[in-house]
Amino acid sequence: MAIAIDRRSLEPWQDPKAQPYVRIERVTKKFGDVYAVDDVSLSIFQGEFFSLLGSSGCGKTTLLRILAGLEYPSSGRIFIDGADVTDLPPYNRPVNMMFQSYALFPHMTVEQNVEFGLKQERMPRRERAERVAEMLDLLKIGELRRRRPDQLSGGQRQRVALARSLAKHPKLLLLDEPLGALDKRLRENTQFELVNLQERIGTTFITVTHDQEEAMTMSTRLAVMDAGQIVQVDTPTGIYEYPNCRFVARFIGSVNLFEGKVVERDGDEVLVETPLGRPMRMRCPQPLALGSPVTVAVRPEKVRLCAAFREEAVNQIRGLVEDIAYLGDVSIYHVRVSPGQIVEMTLANIQPRTEQALTWGQEVAMEWSPTSGVVLAD
Partner 1 sequence: MASPFQNRPRPTRRASRLLNIGVPYLWLGLFLLLPVAIVLQISLAEPTAAQPPYAALWQWVEEGVLQIRLDFQSYRLLWSDSLYLASFLNSLQVALVCTLLCLLLGYPMAYAIATAPERWRLPLLMLIVLPFWTSFLIRVYAWIGILKTNGFLNNFLLWLGVIDEPLAILYTQTAVYIGIVYSYLPFMILPLYANLTRLDPTLLEAAADLGCRPLRAFLRVTLPLSRAGIVAGSMLVFIPAVGEFVIPDLLGGPQTLMVGRMLWTEFFSNMDWPLAAALALVLLGLLVVPFVLMQRWQQGALEDRP
Ligand X SMILES: Nc1ncnc2c1ncn2[C@@H]1O[C@H](COP(=O)(O)OP(=O)(O)O)[C@@H](O)[C@H]1O
Site of interaction with ligand X (CB under 6 A) = 31, 34, 36, 54, 56-62
**Contact with partner 1 (CB under 8 A) among 76, 90, 142, 238:** 90
The entry of ligand X, partner 1, Mg ion, none that residue 31 binds, CB within 5 to 8 Å by partner kind: ligand X
Q: State the amino acid at position 2 in one-letter form.
A: A
Applying CB under 5 A, does 61 fall inside the site for Mg ion?
A: yes
Residue 102 CB, nearest distance to Mg ion (Å)?
A: 14
Binder among 22, 40, 52, 97 for partner 1 (CB under 8 A)? 97
Distances (CA, A) of 3 to 7, 150, 197: 12, 34, 17
Written as one string, the DSSP assignment of 321-365 is: EEEEEE-SSEEEEEEEEETTEEEEEEEE--S-GGG-S--TT-EEE
Site for partner 1 contains 96 (CB under 8 A): yes
CB of 61 to Mg ion, least distance (A): 3
Q: For residue 355, which amino acid is it?
A: E
Output the CA–CA distances (angstroms, integers) from residue 356 to 98, 209, 242, 324, 350, in the order listed: 49, 38, 32, 12, 9
- Which residue among 79, 116, 242, 247 contacts partner 1 (CB under 8 A)? 116
Q: Which of 21, 99, 205, 251 binds partner 1 (CB under 8 A)?
A: 99
Q: Which does 314 bind (CB under 5 to 8 A by kind): ligand X, partner 1, Mg ion, none?
A: none
From 12-20, 58-66, 165-173, 193-201, span contacting Mg ion (CB under 5 A): 58-66
Pairing assessment for the beta strands 256-266 and 269-273 based on DSSP bridges: antiparallel
The answer to whether 252 and 232 have CB atoms below 8 angstroms apart is: no
Minimum CB distance to partner 1 smaller for 105 or for 192 = 105
Q: Which of 32, 82, 106, 291 binds partner 1 (CB under 8 A)?
A: 106
Q: Which does 151 bind (CB under 5 to 8 A by kind): partner 1, ligand X, Mg ion, none?
A: partner 1
CB of 165: closest distance to ligand X in angstroms? 18
Torsion sign (Cα): 258, 262, 265, 271: negative
Binding flag, residue 206, partner 1 (CB under 8 A): no
Q: Is 242 in the site for partner 1 (CB under 8 A)?
A: no
Q: Residue 116's binding partner, choosing from ligand X, partner 1, Mg ion, none, with beta-carbon cut-off 5 to 8 A by kind?
A: partner 1
Q: Between residues 206 and 282, which has the closer beta carbon with respect to partner 1? A: 206
Out of 3, 39, 57, 105, the residue judged to bind partner 1 by CB under 8 A = 105
Select the binding partner of residue 57 from Mg ion, ligand X, partner 1, none (C-beta < 5 to 8 A, by kind).
ligand X
Q: Give helix then strand counts, H and E, for the chain.
A: 8, 20
Look at residues 374, 308, 298, 310 and name the one whose alpha carbon lies nearest to residue 335. Answer: 298
Span 148-167, contacts to partner 1 by CB under 8 A: 148, 151, 164-165
Exactly one of 8, 15, 32, 107 binds partner 1 (CB under 8 A); that residue is: 107
Question: Per DSSP, what are the bridge partners of residue 222?
Answer: 51, 234
Of 150, 161, 147, which Cα lies nearest the Cα of 194? 161
CB of 36 to ligand X, least distance (A): 3
The answer to whether residues 135 and 114 touch, using CB atoms and an 8 Å cutoff, is: yes
Q: Are 173 and 98 in contact, with CB atoms under 8 Å apart? A: yes
> Which helix H or strand E contains 296, and what residues bound it?
strand 293-298
Task: Annotate 327-359 with b (16+ C-beta within 10 A) or e (fewer).
Answer: eeeebbbbbebeeebebbbbbeeeeeeeeeeee
Residues at the interface with partner 1 (CB under 8 A)? 68-70, 89-91, 95-97, 99, 101, 103-107, 116-117, 120-121, 146-148, 151, 164-165, 168
Residues at the interface with Mg ion (CB under 5 A)? 61
